[in-house]
A and B are shown apart, each in its own frame.
Chain A
Amino acid sequence: TQLLEQSPQFLSIQEGENLTVYCNSSSVFSSLQWYRQEPGEGPVLLVTVVTGGEVKKLKRLTFQFGDARKDSSLHITAAQPGDTGLYLCAGPQGAQKLVFGQGTRLTINP
């Protein structure tokens, strides 16, 4: 079983600060995805990274896939209260299953 470990579990910072959250595994993944989940809703896909070393930007969010495709990071610049939520990484296990990390619960305080 390929496990995804996310850190930190909880993060509370002030508006305007920068932050990075991590997703690590001992296994190689063909791709990794990041989702954001807001209270009372299901997770929503933010990005998929496929190539080792790949960097993708989504406005103030920067996603990186490790060179060895075992880890990924999400960096948020100048965090805003609207960034508050549960951030989940996920990766395919086998040909079809998608497994998730435990998530990082992010709170941005005004």
Chain B
Amino acid sequence: GDSVTQMEGPVTLSEEACLTINCTYTATGYPSLFWYVQYPGEGLQLLLKATKADDKGSNKGFEATYRKETTSFHLEKGSVQVSDSAVYFCALSDGSSASKIIFGSGTRLSIRP
């Protein structure tokens, strides 16, 4: 079945460092891809998404490009802030109606001041 694999954490960076969190997927058909973020004590928030190959999703300085040839959707940010500390989930949904979201295992990111 469909699945998502993302790099294990925790990832600890200093403020203003560059961030990459790797994510690859396995899916039949043409899934939509997402990054969700979970801040401490809060629920899941959509960070960005891409619905077809070569699309780039972006939000709050984060970017991810849907790469069909490498089945990847890596999350990147050029300069992280302390407020970016959270758990980041890569996810996909297939094209079916009422389609469920399949999540990766999550990567905990901690940013040092």
A interacts with B = no
